[in-house]
Amino acid sequence: MPRFALVFLPAVLMLASPAEANKVFVSNERGNSVTVLDSKSWEVIATFPAGNRPRGITISPDGKELYVCSSDDDTVRVFDPESYEELHTLPSGPDPELFALNPAGSPLYIANEDDNLVTVVDVKTRQVLAEVPVGVEPEGVAVSPDAKTLINTSETTNMAHFIDTSTYKIVHNVLVDQRPRYAEFTADGKKLYVSSEIGGTVSVIDVSKAEPTIDKKISFAVPGVLPEWLQPVGVKATKDGSRVFVALGPANRVAVIDGATDEVLDYLLVGQRVWQMAFTPGEEFLITTNGNSNDVSIIDVKSQKVIRSVQVGEQPWGVVVAPN
């Protein structure tokens, strides 16, 4: 792996206190790095190496460990979010792409795209607890708010797999549209949104009953944008369930959806090839990664307006914000 020097911008950019600002971590897939932004100034404050082809990125609930899928290194790298030093690695299967932490902080559920497995890893002992066979090309991973159900989406099998976290067995399979990429539970655990990139839809799945069922499929239409460019990828729902945001890939738009009716309200123009998204802790802002324009867009959630774009590294992919 090539070695990089840490790059820090002037300390004046860090004047905001921790209570006023949070660190935003952006994985740069082609740049082999993570860019760090300050969520008050929206300035870049650091860049550090993160292995080869970093994609999925998340942080521990206490904010003390940053996890990055180094996809081409077939490992998960763990960093100190303050010093940006690599602490250790966690085992995974080939080509880890996305993952999700149990709300308690462990285990970590890792989708390994090249071997059709979800690897379950204890982040404290660094031991593999289970390997769950799933469909072809697993990607999206989500954990229910009660931590009892794990969701994995398989891109080629076109399914959302429901996995019991106590037994690591698949208990339900739900067929969705072509190439599902991401899964997002509402905070009350009653609905699950699954994006289908090539199908061009988001499936709204009722998970409040014993058998999960698709209640609706959300489709998208933007004047002047070819239908084949409307490729849903990342999905984020507000904690109160009132709004759901969907990244539409090469359409360069984020769709705003009414969480009560699941109707599209608006489309926000962002950077090129919008991919993943993350809220700041209070949900004042939503940050999007735009892979082809090498920037992130900052959306004011209340006004539903894009207020700024910030250049980061080469081909930004994932994003996570440190907790308060």
Question: Who contacts 234 (Cβ-Cβ below 8 Å, separation ≥6)?
Answer: 181, 182, 195, 246, 247, 274, 275, 276, 277, 288
pLDDT of residue 15: 37
Q: 7 falls in which pLDDT band (50, 70, 90)?
A: very low
pLDDT tens per residue across span 13-52: 333 334 458 999 999 999 999 999 999 999 999 999 999 9
Percentage of the residues of the chain whose pLDDT score is greater than 90: 93
Looking at the predicted structure, is the pLDDT value of residue 4 above 60? no
Comparing 18-22, 213-217, 221-225, which segment has the lowest mean pLDDT? 18-22
Question: Who contacts 103 (Cβ-Cβ below 8 Å, separation ≥6)?
Answer: 61, 143, 145, 147
Report CA-CA distances (Å) from 142 to 181, 256, 320: 11, 21, 15
Q: How far apart are CA 171 and CA 185, in angstroms?
A: 17
β-pairing, 7-8 vs 44-49, is antiparallel
Looking at the predicted structure, is the pLDDT value of residue 96 above 90? yes
Q: How far apart are CA 271 and CA 240, in angstroms?
A: 27
Q: 324 falls in which pLDDT band (50, 70, 90)?
A: confident
pTM: 0.93
Q: How far apart are CA 35 and CA 19, in angstroms?
A: 21
Q: 6 falls in which pLDDT band (50, 70, 90)?
A: very low
Comparing 15-29, 82-96, 116-130, which segment has the lowest mean pLDDT? 15-29
Q: Calculate the average pLDDT of the chain.
A: 94
Report CA-CA distances (Å) from 159 to 12, 135, 153, 162, 265: 48, 7, 6, 10, 27
Question: Which own/partner pairs from 62-70 qualify as long-range (CB within 8 Å, at least 24 positions apart)?
Answer: 62/105, 62/323, 63/322, 63/323, 65/123, 66/25, 66/34, 66/320, 67/99, 67/101, 67/108, 67/123, 68/27, 68/34, 69/27, 69/96, 69/97, 69/98, 69/99, 69/110, 69/318, 70/96
